[in-house]
Structure 1
C-alpha cells in the first residue's frame, strides 16, 4: 500500500502541530474514499467521477443548467465541462437547449435515459459510501459529522479573518 502523508508523519518529533496531523488525517480519508469511488465507477459503470458529478448537478436541476453554472458548481473550467457535456450528449444522457433567458447561452439537462442511468449510478454510489464508512456506528457517524461541521466553521471563520 502506498505511503500517505499521514503515515509519513507518524514518527514526527514531539511538538509537531496537532492541527497539521488532523488536516493530514482528513485529507488521507478523503483521498482513500475518492480513489475507491473512482475505481468502482470505472469498473462497474465504465465512467468517471467528473461525469458522475456532472450528471448529479443536472439531476438536482431538472430545468437544466448553463455550462457556466455547471463549471462553477463543479469548480472546474468551462472547457472541462464542454468536453464532458459533448461526450454525454453523444451517448444520449444529456441534451443541450438554448437558454430561455439568454439566447446566446446553452443549457444542459438530463434526458430520460440520463435520468435512468444516473439513478443506477447514484444508488450504487450511496451503497459504496455506506460500505466504506460502515465500520463506524451511528453514534460515531453523528459525532464525526458534528465535529466536522465545527471544523468547517473554524476554517470558514479563519478565511474571513484573513480576507481573500
Structure 2
C-alpha cells in the first residue's frame, strides 16, 4: 500500500517517497502536504488549459479581482498572489488585451491606477469558478465531511503557528 501511495499517476515517485523512517516527522509532513498540493495544482492547471484555455496564474488574478469589484492596485495584486510585480504586469497585460480586465484611475491616488474585471471578465470568471469548484469537490470527494473539517482545523492551527515565525519564534 505504501508504494502505491507514494507513486504519482505517471508512475514516478512523489516528493514524500524520498523519505525513510530516519527522517524527521516534520519533514515527512511537509513533503506529504507539498505532494498533495502539487498533484491538485497540476490537475487544475491542466483542466483550466483544456477547458478554458487559461493559465492558473491568470485564473488566480481574476479570482483576486472578483473579490474586489472596485479593483486592486498592482502592488496589492502582487502581494496577494505572492508573485513579483513583473509577473502581475505581464498577466494583466494579457488579460487586458483580451478585454477581461481594465486599468482604471485609482480612487484616492491620482498618479496610480487599479485593475478591475470588465463585464466580460466577470462573466468568464463566474463560469470558470463554478467548474473549478466542481473539480476540487470531485478530487476530494472520497474524504468525509468530518475528515475535511478536521484537516481544515489542523491546517488553520499550523498556519497560526507559522505566522509567528520570523517574529521571534523559531
CA distance in 1, matches of 2:50, 2:93: 22
The yes-or-no answer on 1:37 pairing with 2:44 is yes
Deviations 1:14-60 (A, max 9, x none): 44211111111111011111111111100100000110011011101
Match of 2:96 in 1: 89
The alignment's TM-score, normalised by the length of structure 1, stands at 0.91
Q: SS in structure 1 opposite 2:114? A: strand
Match of 1:104 in 2: 111
Q: SS in structure 2 opposite 1:82? A: helix
Q: SS in structure 2 opposite 1:107? A: strand
Rate the CA distance shift 1:39–1:18 in 2: closer, same or farther, 3 A: same
Match of 2:25 in 1: 18
1:157 Cα deviation after fit: 3.3
1:105 Cα deviation after fit: 1.1
Which of 135, 142, 146 lines up with 1:139 in the alignment? Answer: 146
Task: Give me the CA root mean square deviation.
Answer: 1.4
- Higher RCO structure (Cα 8 Å, ≥6 apart): 1
Q: SS in structure 2 opposite 1:161? A: coil
In structure 2, stretches of 5+ residues that fail to align are 1-9
1:87 Cα deviation after fit: 1.0
The yes-or-no answer on 1:67 pairing with 2:77 is no
Deviations 1:97-123 (A, max 9, x none): 121211221111111110000001111
Q: SS in structure 1 opposite 2:164? A: helix
CA distance in 1, matches of 2:81, 2:155: 21
Aligned length, in residue pairs: 160
CA distance in 1, matches of 2:166, 2:142: 33
CA distance in 2, matches of 1:28, 1:116: 33
CA distance in 1, matches of 2:146, 2:56: 29
In structure 1, stretches of 5+ residues that fail to align are none
Rate the CA distance shift 1:71–1:157 in 2: closer, same or farther, 3 A: closer
